[in-house]
Amino acid sequence: MFNPFVKSSQRLNARCVLICSVPPNKTEKSIDSKTNPRYIKNLRKIVRECVVKDWLHKDPFIAYKLKEKKSDRTYLTEFEFSAIREKHFPIARLDQIKDIFLFSCYTGLSYIDIFNLTLQNIMIGIDGEKWINTNRQKTDSSSRVPLLPPALAIIAKYANFPEIVNRNKLLPVPSNQKVNAYLKEIGACAGISKELTFHMARHTFATTVTLNNGIPMESVSKMLGHTKIQTTQIYAKILDKKVSTDMNELRSIYSLGESKCKSSEAG
């Protein structure tokens, strides 16, 4: 007679083997190359727990090497950032999206984090200036960002908007779909060849606005709400200006060394 309790471990073992026998890179749905590894990692954790509890005889992932595609950190250069900043839009909806995009460039906050901001998220920092104090929705990590003058000007501009007053919002933020659709228009009008997306603003904050202006890596990491500084270091690797600065320092050392050699030879 079939006994579901006696056979439970065998059935679980068979199911896990069946699931894990499916090639990890094959899928019936369109899952992008960044999401797929996360699914595999989560499945891997479950499988390892099954092995520990003797529900699986061995780990089917033991010889599998996870291939993660490096994230593309596309950002705006100083020239491109200035082009958007200085572009005037007579159409109200485009002007509004431009301001929200720039606010993200000045704070490093993602779309959903700006959408969730209220007046209660504004605090007075240790320097006596206004800061944003919030928790990132993605990681629940703390993010405290001093507000630059252009960001404060954007907040003041929309302070009396009905949406701000009635819904206790800091900024009038439409849906993510609308925002990214309007950003395409903004990019085209400003002569930006890159496909403008809202998340590009966060990358721009990390690179063009902060690291390019000498803000220390640790401070940028804290403002971005990164749990690991290695995540922030990715931005430093893509900056030509930092490479140029570092090499100029090295060039000066070697130039100094050569001049000393020549002077000693002359003596």
| 37 lies in the same domain as 86 | no
| 148 lies in the same domain as 96 | yes
User: Is 247 domain-assigned?
Assistant: no
Per-residue 3-state assignment (H helix, E strand, C coil) for the chain = CCCCCCCHHHHHHHHHHHHHCCCCCCCCCCCCCCHHHHHHHHHHHHHHHHHHCCCCCCCCCCCCCCCCCCCCCCCCCHHHHHHHHHCCCCCHHHHHHHHHHHHHHHHCCCHHHHHCCCHHHEEECCCCCEEEEEECCCCCCEEEEECCHHHHHHHHHCCCCHHHHHHCCCCCCCCHHHHHHHHHHHHHHCCCCCCCCCHHHHHHHHHHHHHHHCCCHHHHHHHHCCCCHHHHHHHHHCCHHHHHHHHHHHHHHHHHHHHHHHHHHHC
| 219 lies in the same domain as 89 | yes
| 216 lies in the same domain as 88 | yes
Total domain count for the chain?
A: 2
User: Is 67 domain-assigned?
Assistant: no
User: Is 251 domain-assigned?
Assistant: no
| 113 lies in the same domain as 13 | no
| 28 lies in the same domain as 134 | no
What is the residue-level pLDDT of the chain in tens, covering all 267 positions? 444 444 444 555 555 554 555 555 544 556 656 667 777 888 888 888 888 888 888 888 877 777 666 666 789 999 999 999 999 999 999 999 999 999 999 999 999 999 999 999 999 999 999 999 998 888 888 889 999 999 999 999 999 988 888 888 999 999 999 999 999 999 999 999 999 999 999 999 999 999 888 899 899 999 998 888 888 888 877 776 666 766 777 788 787 655 555 555 555
Query: Which range marks the domain in which residue 93 is found?
Result: 78-241
Q: What is the CATH number of the domain that holds 197?
A: 1.10.443.10
User: Is 256 domain-assigned?
Assistant: no
| 89 lies in the same domain as 211 | yes
| 47 lies in the same domain as 107 | no
pTM of this prediction?
0.70
| 36 lies in the same domain as 130 | no
